[in-house]
Amino acid sequence: MDQELIKSCEAKAQEWLASPVYDEQTKAEVKALLDAADKTALVDAFYQSLEFGTGGLRGIMGAGTNRMNRYIVGAATQGFANYINKAFAGKKDIAVVVGHDCRNHGREFAETVAAIFSANGIKVYLFESLRPTPEVSFAIRHLGAVAGVNVTASHNPKEYNGYKAYWQDGAQVIAPHDKGIIDEVNKVAIEDVKFEGNPDLIKIIGGELDYDYMLAVREARIDAEVIKRQENLNIVYSPMHGAGRVVTPLCLRSWGFKNINVVPEQMVIDGNFSTVVSPNPENAEAMTLGMKWGTKLNADLVIASDPDADRLAIVCRDPKGEWIIINGNQTCMMFCYYIIKNKIALGQLKPTDFLVKTIVTTEVIAEIAKKNHVELRDCYTGFKWIAREIAISEGKQKYIGGGEESFGFLPYDKVRDKDAPAAICLICEIAAWAKEQGKTLFDLLIDIYKEYGFSYEHTVNVVRPGKTGADEIKQMMVDFRGAKAPKDIAGSKIVCTKDFQALTATDAEGNVTKLDMPATSNVLQWFCADGTKVSVRPSGTEPKIKFYLEVKGQIGCANCYPGAVEDAKKKVEAIKQSLGLA
């Protein structure tokens, strides 16, 4: 290991030991790192400062500059408070909302955040205990707050915690405020942090907000009558030990569902997530207990939310009666299909209604919207961009739904982030509607594919750690834009290339048009003559580059589905070969 790096980390650690700011427990942990013969853990903890990015913070918990602890959280909050006080100078009674999920140290960090905001003269609405991220977003708007923080690391492993920063619209922060907050955070020294709070400025909130949020979620309901007729739909739900545990069953009940069963082992608040390898409902393993209870109770569907209850997962029965996980693209597609179809059937769809999806999400949604004459907008990955679309059309057009391939959906506009409780209620309504026709959610999926065309999506993550890896990823993007720009992919001609860094779209004849996007982004997309779509983007937080592959096909019946999937998998392998990813 680099001896200069070790010396630098030892010096930083010694500063922590010498400072009167850090508590004795933290100093003991730092001393143990210093005393250890193997310096790997010391270097990991101190080689850099955990970066406050546009979404906030996320990292492994522990002592050190590169770890989530009350001091790193404190410095971030002091910077955030400084920016708020500058942005709203002269405004009376400015307030923020603070929440947390089930993670270890979550309450401690949330109380630290609340104390620092209050010490800076800002009123704080602090949730009494763990609450979903979407409820925090709702509360910011509902209470007229100017910002908010939710302490969560979403679906990351148990070692992690994080800090999501929100602005007064209830959305995660975008320009110009994101850069302004980051600049303020970077100016803060630990001695500047006002840890001693003002209790008079901290108001504890809880059940009353749960009730108001529940009423808001009910606005996403489309057909109350179908729920009334199918009120005994057999639902199994798991909060994955997290924040959806109280609110989601409450919302389901308020929609009219009466047969709500929970996974008891996963209703227990547990920051160690002891019943799963990782609390990510995208992973099949995390749904094992839910499927076990679904089989035992002969459920119609099994649903789960991640620890901060912004993402959801859906498990339904295939034609053989076996459990099958609906993937993120299929989930988003099913929501958009049902919203359009049933708003039309009930006379609720208006010419000014619009949907939003991210650019890497399945193009079948575009086909559904086009055929039904509904406006669909494409935006960058991340719900802050979906929230932006809602904001710019507020009062002029009505947002009726939006989502992304990573298991997030928002079916109404009272919240400005992914909303698992609302999405779970709506998927249960969809399941009730399907059941009334003698169908499962899987049957509905096949119906969509038959009408609008089959698609299969696959993501390839190419990991390249370290500085050499970062340089390699950077060069890959340069090559894809220049010397190694493909003309065809797996034998199909590229008919359009979209470059979101240059904000251009280039067709096969070389004609260039401008892309209308709110900012540039290091993303490339290729659209082929056979319907194949490939999106490429380096990760902003991890040493990897992601390739999102979508291939097209046709199916005529449920029995055709396995064959279509197998054909698509072969096409994916050909695409990987074509792009040098195999």
Positive or negative: CA dihedral 190, 193, 197, 201 = negative
Six-digit token pair at 366?
Answer: 């575009």
Determine whether 500 is exposed, middle or buried from the number of CB atoms within 10 Å of its CB (0-12, 13-18, 19+): buried
Beta bridge partners of 238: 304
Beta bridge partners of 505: 498, 513
| Burial call 426-437: b when 16+ CB within 10 Å, e when fewer | bbbbbbbbbbee
What CA dihedral angle connects 380, 382, 388 and 391, to 10 degrees?
Answer: 140
**Closest C-alpha among 290, 293, 292, 331 to residue 311:** 331
Asked if residues 156 and 147 have their Cβ atoms less than 8 Å apart, the reply is no
Asked if residues 170 and 383 have their Cβ atoms less than 8 Å apart, the reply is no
Six-digit token pair at 123?
Answer: 């009123």
Beta bridge partners of 462: 545
**Closest C-alpha among 468, 442, 459, 485 to residue 545:** 459
Six-digit token pair at 402?
Answer: 């939006």
Strands annotated E in 228-279 = 235-238, 260-262
**3-class SS letters over 397-410:** CEEEEEEECCCEEE
**Closest C-alpha among 558, 407, 579, 400 to residue 489:** 579
**DSSP assignment letter at 50:** P
Helix, strand or coil for residue 362?
A: coil
With residue 336 as reference, give the H or E element that holds it: helix 328-345
Number of neighbours of residue 115 by Cβ within 10 angstroms: 24
- From the list 137, 154, 406, 521, the catalytic residue is 154
Sequence letter at residue 223 = D
**3-class SS letters over 408-438:** EEECCCCCCCCCHHHHHHHHHHHHHHHHHCC
Residue 8 annotated to the active site: no
Positive or negative: CA dihedral 147, 148, 149, 150 = negative
Number of neighbours of residue 154 by Cβ within 10 angstroms: 23
Six-digit token pair at 149?
Answer: 């923080």
Range 466-472 contact pairs with CB under 8 angstroms and sequence separation of 24 or more: 466/543, 469/543, 470/543
d(CA 418, CA 401): 11
Q: Determine what percent of the chain falls in helix, strand and coil, rounding each to the nearest 5.
A: 40, 20, 35
Asked if residues 315 and 290 have their Cβ atoms less than 8 Å apart, the reply is yes
**Closest C-alpha among 272, 275, 308, 289 to residue 408:** 308
The residues carrying an active-site annotation are 154
